[in-house]
Amino acid sequence: QGASVAFGGLKHDASQPVEITADELTVDQATGSAVFTGNVVAGQGEMRLSAGRVQVQYATENGQATGRIDQLVATGNVTLVNGAEAAEAEKAVYSVGGSQIVMTGNVILTQGINALSGEKLTVDLTSGSGRMEGRVRTIFQTGGNK
């Protein structure tokens, strides 16, 4: 079953520049595939995606790899922070063009004091909505009237 959540209500502009910082970048000159390793942080506008390893996949037009980035595949304790929300998972695929992030592998989403965990979280950055699937468990802090 699944639950839809608001994620980073503010509108995220997918055309902003993406800045990737890391300790190391390895580029295979034959295939052109680029891999950032060592506390990688990919940021775009308000959103920050940090991970141990990020692989850049370029959009290919008729087999030729163009300069445009199609997807960032982040692995290794991935955390995604966007405004007040933070999400952690084992793996995240951020398709820059479609401005959508799919996080898989015991995802934990914290919004303020509420927490939500599941197997897969799909976040649409432009509409600011997210969908959590797979053994969704929520923890509400009920306190506050002490």
Chain residues in the site for another protein (CB under 8 A): 14-32, 34, 36, 56, 58, 65, 67-69, 96-97
Token pair in block for residue 4: 């839809």
Shortest distance in whole angstroms from residue 94 CB to another protein:
12
Cα(35)–Cα(138) distance, integer angstroms = 35
Give whichever of 109 and 123 is closer to another protein, judged by the CB atom: 123
Give whichever of 59 and 86 is closer to another protein, judged by the CB atom: 59
Shortest distance in whole angstroms from residue 51 CB to another protein:
14
Cα(103)–Cα(94) distance, integer angstroms = 8
Give whichever of 44 and 122 is closer to another protein, judged by the CB atom: 44
Shortest distance in whole angstroms from residue 44 CB to another protein:
9
Shortest distance in whole angstroms from residue 27 CB to another protein:
4
Shortest distance in whole angstroms from residue 28 CB to another protein:
6
Q: For strand 114-124 and strand 100-111, is the pairing parallel, antiparallel, or unpaired?
A: antiparallel
**Environment class of residue 70 by beta-carbon count within 10 Å: exposed (0-12), middle (13-18) or buried (19+)?**
middle
Q: Of 143, 128, 134, which is closest to residue 5 (Cα–Cα)?
A: 128
Give whichever of 23 and 112 is closer to another protein, judged by the CB atom: 23
Give whichever of 70 and 133 is closer to another protein, judged by the CB atom: 70
Q: Of 95, 89, 91, 78, which is closest to residue 41 (Cα–Cα)?
A: 78
